[in-house]
Amino acid sequence: MPLNYLPVLIFLGIAIAVPLVGMLLAWILRPAVGGKIKALPYECGVDPEGDVRDRYSIRYYIIAILFVVFDVEVVFLFPWAVIYDRLLLFGFIEMGIFLLILILAYIYVWKKGALEWA
């Protein structure tokens, strides 16, 4: 019976050895010192402005939430378009009401100035 588990043990040994060998090779081959450039918060070539821990404006979060809300609502248009031929007039009126509410919400947000970035 224990001999039947030999392939499982071999596979388990390989599964443990491969990551360990990879980590050991990375530790041996990596440079010892990162340097001044590695200590910067960003490595994209643009010097950072201000402190990394500065707070974001609430406008950033409002725009992000509005994007998610409008994006999710637009996703509802796809299933409706797929079965549009089966919904007939009822589906057309229902989606018209949905789009009207969506457009009114967008106009409200626009008039309130929530989409202004600066």
Residue 115: both structure tokens together: 């989409």
Confidence band, pLDDT 50/70/90 cuts, at residue 71? confident
Residue range 26-68, pLDDT digits in tens: 999 987 777 776 666 665 666 667 776 778 778 888 888 888 8
CA distances in angstroms from 117 to 58, 59, 76, 79, listed in the order given: 10, 7, 27, 32
* All structural domains of the chain: 2-112 (1.20.58.1610)
Residue 2 DSSP class: G
Question: Can you tell me the distance from the alpha carbon of 66 to that of 81, in angstroms, rounded to the nearest whole number?
Answer: 23
Confidence band, pLDDT 50/70/90 cuts, at residue 108? very high
Q: Which of 10-14, 16-20, 75-79 has the lowest mean pLDDT?
A: 75-79
Residue 117: both structure tokens together: 């970035």
Q: Find all residues with CB under 8 Å of 87, minimum gap 6, and list them.
A: 80, 94
pLDDT value for 43 = 56
Q: Find all residues with CB under 8 Å of 80, minimum gap 6, and list them.
A: 87, 91, 95
Q: Find all residues with CB under 8 Å of 63, minimum gap 6, and list them.
A: 114, 115, 117
Across 83-96, average pLDDT: 89
